[in-house]
Structure 1
Amino acid sequence: MSDIDKPTNGMIPTSRPESTLPTPALSPSNSAGPSPAFSTVLQSPAVSEFELENPFDKLQSQAGGDGWNIPECWGHRGASASFPENTKASFVEACKAGADGIETDIHITADNVLVLFHDPELHRTTDGEGLIHKQPWNGVLEHVRTKKAPHQPIPRFTEVLDILLQPENINVKLNIDCKVENDPVKLFGLIKDVVQGYEDWQNRLAPRLILGIWHPKFITPACTILPYLPRYAISMSLPQCRKYFFDNCHGFSILYETLASSDGARFRAECAAKGKSICAWTVNSEEEMRQCGRWGVKSVISDKPDLWRSIRKEIETDRVKALKPTIQSYILPFLNPRYYWFYHQRLAREETEYLEREGGTFDIHLPEISLGLSKPPHTTTI
């Protein structure tokens, strides 16, 4: 078990209150990313579930004390179906909706402030223009607001950590998606400085933070600068995961549609055999959420943590009934072209081209790296 799975020292789980924010009706996220592959959410066929295993038979055989756990739900950019993505309002709403974690993206401004934002440029979601890394926070980016109402400022990294440290959120995790446009040494150094500036950070923060990495160039700096934080490879390509990340990462954050393929079934088995966690993204439909439960993944990354909360209650009441496949489970993968392998393989190819264009080739030399996590050092804050 990695440190991320262990309870935080001295922390007693608390219930989170129901949301008091006026949450709009949930609808599919319109989120898009800076790369070609981020512009569309695609799906691939789950044919392997019929050829290789019967999910319901497996479920029945595990209905007892089998070590199976309900997947966690990590709010994708917060509760981004309800509030502007990657904003304090979105993060707070995700916590109030019962999310077990928050997934967010990080960039560095020109004056070395860490901000939580998906794209390298401002124009898609805000009234700002230009690249984040070329503009300072002070006097410029601090005044930018989201186009989507309620109009929100760009949050700094410290602000999401402050949310996590609220008493009602002491068990909420933070999955930090480290964008490839960043210099990894500089990024991890700044993250380290911010985290270690909090009192008792070793117990209150470090056990709840996860580094999400897209490119192998982030592995060695992560091990060197933040050796006490788990590393999750983020990918759409399973061959890429096996070749570049499997021996050096504790878990994987994988496009749902990729996991639903025949190779996805094999990869899930490989990870289970090696004790590696799997997160599926971005999962916004009831059927896909239930399928993640049948697979037994570590977490569901969703724009709609409130929807997952209702499904979770069903699972807690009657697991077998809640996760039993329906006709929809078997038929839908064949009716939508998004479920076929050529869609997610095209996505993976386009994404790899983008990542290598921004971050350089994946074929870099890595020293021998231990998967063991260091114990956070004890430091004195001033």
Structure 2
Amino acid sequence: MEAQTPILENMTSSLRHERSSSPSEGTPLREKGPFPSAHKVRSKSNDPGRFPQTIAHRGYKNKYPENTMGAFKGAVEAGSHAIETDLHLSRDGVVVISHDATLKRVFGVNKYVIDCDWEYLKTLRTLKEPHDRIPRLQDLLEYLATPGLEDVWLLLDIKLANDPATIMRRLAETIESVPPGKRPWHERIVLGCWSAKHLPLARTHLPNFPITIITFSISYARQFLSIPNVSFNVNQKVLMGPLGSGFLEEAKAAGRPVFVWTVNARPYMRWCVRRHLDGVVTDDPALFRTLCDEWDDDNDEKRGKDEITAKEQLELLFVAVIVVLFGWLKLRHLPAVDGYRVAMLEDSTAARKKVKA
């Protein structure tokens, strides 16, 4: 395995379960690096790496309007270790939190985010009650800088619809503008990138920040195994498909964290636990925390490894094929990693020399 950057070494350090005097119980959590524990809680086992971390998809999406401050606060209150969220740019260069490039589905407005100034965007309210505002990344960072929340980390999804150079520059400026509190942002923010072209921009603007590759494609993900400081955030249906198990073994052998999205049903959550994934991105963080808290290895063995029925497996295979085809159509124009590999490895070598010096 190639030499790793200090950031990746933190990312892949062994998990350590913590105990406290708190009366509540929770899942085992990471202690160091950009994947810290969200709460000091007791766990049922001291086996390192027993449970994936709970990553709230667009906040607590099942209970609140997605990607709103209410959803983010609800996710933290539900015990999430991390918040996953999506970034777009407004016309005047504000980093806005929205999954869609348009405002139609969530806000009922037939406009693109990039065509609107922040002064207009901040007046919008979600169609879903309680009709919350659209937030900026700045608003979320200011909330996470609150004392007591320093162990909650952030998984960003940097959308391809934005000009890469502009959004990476504005992202860096936004992060720089918000004091992090007790823990620096590079220990709490993971940059979610869909394309290799984001990597050199990340090195330029946010050189100390870990990166995760978000993808539908196992073959595209494999290209990044030789690039230091990179983890993976893979669609679960793809990871459960015929190529997934091999990639998961390769990623584990390389010491790379693997997250999956989006996991909302108990059988698929249990699949993630059995395969010792590093994080589960879910619309219902409370459900996943409960599943982990109530986990019993003996009962799981009795339930059997084939809890997902043969019919469900066929349906899963069908869905995986559709997702792969959709991913290919969406991502077929993404650049190969080869054009960026030398620069990435040179940056990694320079970073290690700087640390040693």
State the TM-score, normalizing by the size of structure 1: 0.76
Counterpart for residue 335 of structure 1 = 312
1:191-227 deviations in Å (ceiling 9; x for gaps): 1111122335693322010011112221221122212
Q: Please give the residue correspondences for 1:21-170 in structure 2 after superposition, counting only pairs within 5 Å.
A: 67-138=48-119, 140-170=120-150
Q: How many residues align?
A: 320
Q: Aligned equivalents of 2:173 and 2:302: distance in 1?
A: 47
8 Å contact kept, 1:291–1:323: no
Describe the SS at the equivalent of 1:168.
coil
> CA offset at residue 65 of structure 1?
6.6
2:322 corresponds to which residue?
346
* 2:188 counterpart of 1:212: no
Contact 1:195 1:201 in 2 (8 A): no
Which stretch shifts more, 259-268 or 199-208? Answer: 199-208
Gaps of 5+ in 1: 17-62, 378-382
Contact 1:143/1:153, CA 8 A, preserved across alignment: yes
Shift of the 112–205 alpha-carbon distance from structure 1 to 2, 3 Å rule, reads same
Superposed counterparts of 1:293-372, under 5 Å: 293-315=273-295, 318=296, 320-321=297-298, 323-324=300-301, 326=303, 329-335=306-312, 337-340=314-317, 342-356=318-332, 360-363=333-336, 365-368=339-342, 369-370=344-345, 372=348
Cα separation, partners in 2 of 1:85 and 1:64, compared to 1, 3 Å: closer
Write the letter of the residue equivalent to 1:344: A
User: Are 1:224 and 2:217 counterparts?
Assistant: no
> Which SS does the other structure have where 1:73 is aligned?
strand
The letter of the residue matching 2:32 is P
Question: Do 1:2 and 1:230's aligned partners in 2 also have CA atoms closer than 8 Å?
Answer: no
Q: Report the Cα distance in structure 2 between the residues aligned to 1:153 and 1:224, rounded to whole angstroms.
A: 32
The 2-side partners of 1:207 and 1:93 are apart by: 22
Listed as ranges, the matches of 1:280-299 within 5 Å are 280-299=260-279
Check 1:324–1:164 CA distance in 2 against 1; reply closer, same or farther (3 A cut). farther
Q: Which residue does the alignment assign to 1:253?
A: 233
Q: CA RMSD, aligned part only?
A: 2.8
Taking a change above 3 Å as real, the CA distance of residues 2 and 186 of structure 1, as seen in their structure-2 partners, is farther
Question: Do 1:77 and 1:85's aligned partners in 2 also have CA atoms closer than 8 Å?
Answer: yes
Structure-1 separation of matches of 2:57 and 2:121: 23
Change (3 A) 1:273 1:96: same
Residue matched to 1:276: 256
**1:235 and 2:215 matched:** yes
Change (3 A) 1:355 1:263: closer
Alpha-carbon offset, residue 7 of structure 1:
2.7
Matched, 1:188 2:185: no
State the percentage of identical aligned residues: 26
Which AA in structure 1 matches 2:215?
S
Give CA deviations for 1:160-195 in whole Å, capped at 9, x if unaligned.
Answer: 112212233221110000100112221111111111
1:366 Cα offset (Å): 1.6
Q: 1:199 aligns with which of 169, 173, 179?
A: 179
- Any conservation in 2 of the 1:126–1:144 contact (CA below 8 Å)? yes
Normalising by structure 2, report the TM-score.
0.81
